Structure 1
Amino acid sequence: MTQRVLILGGRGRIGSSVAQDISKYTQANIVFTGRTTAIETQQDKSLQYLALDLAETEKLREAISNTNLVVHCAGPFHYRDTTVLQICIEQGVNYVDVSDHRSYTSKVLALHDRAVEKGVTAVINTGIFPGISNSMVRQCVEQFDVPEEIHLSYVVSSSGGAGVTVMRTTFLGLQNPFEALINGQWEKVKPYTGRETVSFPQPYGKSGVYWFDMPETFTLPKAFPTVKSVITKFGSVPDFYNHLTWIAANIFPKSWIQNPGGVEFLAQVSHFMTGVTDNLRGIGVAIRSEVRGIKNGETAIYCSTLVHENTSVAAGYGTGSIAQLLLAGRLNKPGVYTVEEALSTGLFEEMMQSRGLNINQQWL
């Protein structure tokens, strides 16, 4: 029988990229959802549209009951509860998401035991960052006898082609200090502070990055318990976007970014501005994963990097590859796991190579 995939939030930039990837690499029929009732016409007969608001619990339950896999792309995840995953667990349906906020990550991880009991595999934080970035860290960590420090940096060109939802997520991520593991101690860190200049592959080169609240900050120490420091930093090009974001985080009144209206205003303004620079600077992404640890009794550093010309397409690779493996029965690990816990390096490298995504690795 033909398998069915339900993509929640499938009309957005990320959701659309995920749908395209799954359509290319599997034979599944795909139902993608959005909140509008407009009739969608699709040339690809394997794609169908369903108008659905996640608040319509019974309609959501019915949609999930008719599927083999749910892919949750309906962010921002700052506002989401665990209803979707709970229904998947109840109905024995596997689950993937592109969640990118620590509060949501913590809530869904708490459902691990229930997923194990029902035999449901749920893989969270897939996409590009978090997602592919986490598996790059795993690549690096596995080179060491004792990994000790992780430094994970991201830079995005203009909007990254990911739409206004990602803008909302950025400003929501500036709202509160967060905990990070630094030299074996959990410390409070203020978002968009601690600027560093990091060397990325061309065309990015040396770019400024800042502390940013990502789930990796606490999921990577859980996955790799010998690690004493995990640093997650994010930046944009052109660099003036970094300065504007720094002002929003450190100068603007807190009320601007601590209520939905303020966040929406900043997101819409930013989306308009990046719409201009997208054509000039592109919409790509670069990731640098650097791990320090003990190898053969000596301290060493291992680094992996990648560049892709379209951030949302790269996110589709990350999530779509997990969906492909679940549908093929090649990834079967009941419970709720972050991608770095669920996906072996061998499978990760196979999926990225099949999509032509080149990851450079080297000892420094």
Structure 2
Amino acid sequence: MQKKWLIYGAYGYTGELIAREAKKRGWNPVLAGRNPEMLNHLAKELDMEARVFPVGPNMAENLSDIALVLHCAGPFQKTSAPMIKACLEAGADYMDITGEISVFEHSFAQDAKAKEAGITICSGVGFDVIPTDCTALKLKELLPDATTLSLGFDSDSGISPGTYKTMIEGMGSGSAERQNGQLIPVSIGSQRRSIDFGRGMRSAMGIPWGDVSTAFHTTGIQNIATWIPMKKSRIAGARLLNPAGSILALPFIQKRLKKWISLRVKGPDETRRAGAPAYIWGEARNEAGVIKTVRIKTANVYDLTVYGALESVSRLLEGEFPKGSYTPAMLFGSGLIEELPGSGKFEEETIYPE
């Protein structure tokens, strides 16, 4: 019998997808969130227990009988830290589906506390960052002396309201990369190159993806950048946004943008998700000039989040894993991504210096 676990933010776009898939599998998680009307409606439909409570200082009392929390309520840079604190107090394992660098850094900073509390913390058990984290570890296995790592993805998946709001939260903060082991801010649009993510060479732009945090902890590689395909004209446009960053970050601008998202943005439906696989790419280089490249095709970003989150929850509930703070690949290995529905196998390529 599966241990008792909880989905917080269960009525959000991705949280609901996870809850419905759990029901299909015969699982019975507790559904939780702060909106009683939305939560109770979903819990009644799925015949699951509902717990209404906000993110705040007294959450631990709601987790006293919970073995694991899957946190799906963003923006995670605001909600993750108090939920991790509650899990530490309650002795519940913690997982989330974030892709936010600051959240990953906070999660790793809780390593000693997690070990003392006897829990496992693992942020990023969705599309952010399972595919790229597994790709990073695969490259480290193929090229153990790698000094530089590049990771990226290409997908035509739509975007959910929650993800859109997280992007709004990040406006004005620019991009980031890892240089000599340190996180370094980088102007949006300043990182440019051409990449074949898996369906032909395309111009690409650096983005502040979570792997500049997670891949460092997974592999120990000191220099890391993360990429998505982007038309050259749009990269140029992104560079023009840099001076406007401080304006876009103003609270009243943020509030108006988020309100517009709530009214106008809907997540992609099942048909769109089914027709939009993701293409994952990674490249590692060593000081001798050897270049290792791997690619893998996966399910679309939202279905992969569902599959990845539930697989991670199942493994952690049923197995014996170390206590402390970890990435998905650190806990479950580079092969995790190949085992998820809709995923292919890693394809490898090596270029040697002339």
TM-score, length-scaled by structure 1: 0.81
**In the TM superposition, what are the counterparts of 1:234-245 in structure 2 within 5 Å?**
234-235=228-229, 242=234
From the superposition, tell whether residues 155 and 345 of structure 1 become closer, same or farther in structure 2 (CA, over 3 Å). closer
Cα pair distance change 1:109/1:360, threshold 3 Å:
closer
Residue matched to 1:117: 116
Determine if contact 1:13/1:312 at 8 Å carries over to the other structure.
no
Q: Which amino acid aligns with 2:139?
A: C
1:111/1:336 contact within 8 Å kept: yes
Partner of 1:109: helix, strand, or coil? Answer: helix
8 Å contact from structure 1 (residues 289, 303) kept in 2: yes
| Structure 2 counterpart of 1:320 | 310
What's the counterpart of residue 19 of structure 2? 19
Shift of 1:124: 1.2
In structure 2, the CA distance between the partners of 1:120 and 1:275, relative to structure 1 (3 Å rule), is closer
Aligned to 1:358: 344
User: What letter matches 2:328 in structure 1?
Assistant: V
2:3 and 2:182 map into 1 onto residues whose CA distance is: 46
1:73-88 equivalences in 2 (<5 Å)? 73-80=72-79, 82-88=81-87
| Corresponding residue SS for 1:3 | coil
Q: What letter corresponds to residue 335 of structure 1 in structure 2? A: G
Give the aligned partner of residue 175 of structure 1: 172
**Local SS of the residue matching 1:234:** strand
Moved more, 192-201 or 135-144: 192-201
| CA apart distance, 1:177 | 4.1
**Could you tell me how far apart the structure 2 residues matched to 1:13 and 1:241 are?**
32
After TM superposition, give the deviation of residue 272 of structure 1 in Å.
Answer: 8.1
SS of structure 2 residue aligned to 1:80: helix
The answer to whether the aligner puts 1:217 opposite 2:212 as a matched pair is yes
Q: CA deviation at 1:186?
A: 6.0
Q: Deviations over 1:136-162 (max 9, x none)?
A: 2112221123122211112342xx344
Aligned to 1:53: 54
Structure 1 residue 187: deviation in Å?
A: 4.4
SS in 2 for 1:132: helix
Counterparts of 1:272-351 in structure 2, within 5 Å, are 284-293=277-286, 299-308=290-299, 310-329=300-319, 331-346=320-335, 348=336
2:250 alignment partner AA? N
Deviation at 1:121, TM superposition (A): 1.2
Residue by residue over 1:196-255, the C-alpha shift from the partner in whole angstroms, topping out at 9 and shown as x without a partner, is: 3322334xx444432211231133223322x3421112346xx59956972773353621
Contact 1:167 1:271 in 2 (8 A): no
Residue 17 of structure 1 and its aligned partner are, at CA, apart by: 2.8
2:247 matched to which residue of 1? 255
Question: Residues 17 and 195 of structure 1: is their aligned pair in 2 closer, same or farther, counting only changes over 3 Å?
Answer: farther
User: In 2, distance between residues paired with 1:312 and 1:241?
Assistant: 28
Distance 1:245 1:50 in 2: 45
Alpha-carbon shift at residue 179 of structure 1 (Å): 4.7
1:154 aligns with 153
User: Which amino acid letter does the alignment assign opposite residue 11 of structure 1?
Assistant: Y
Q: Which amino acid aligns with 2:326?
A: Y
CA displacement at 1:354 relative to structure 2: 5.1
Q: Is the 8 A contact 1:32 1:50 kept in 2?
A: yes
Q: 1 CA distance for matches of 2:98 and 2:286?
A: 29
Q: Cα deviations across residues 235-292 of structure 1 (Å, max 9, x unaligned)?
A: 46xx599569727733536212x12432354456678887699888965533212223
Residue in structure 2 matched with residue 144 of structure 1 by the alignment = 143
* Distance of 2:212 and 2:101 partners within structure 1: 9
The answer to whether the 8 Å contact 1:8/1:70 transfers is yes
Secondary structure class of the residue paired with 2:63: helix
RMSD: 3.4
Number of the residue aligned with 2:41? 40
Moved more, 283-292 or 62-71: 283-292
Q: Deviations over 1:72-91 (max 9, x none)?
A: 11111122352211221222
Judged with a 3 Å threshold, the aligned counterparts in structure 2 of structure 1 residues 190 and 83 are, in CA distance, closer, same or farther, namely same
Once residues 322 and 84 of structure 2 are traced to their aligned partners in structure 1, the CA distance between those partners, rounded to angstroms, is 16
1:233 pairs with 2:227: yes
Superposition TM-score, scaled by structure 2 size: 0.83
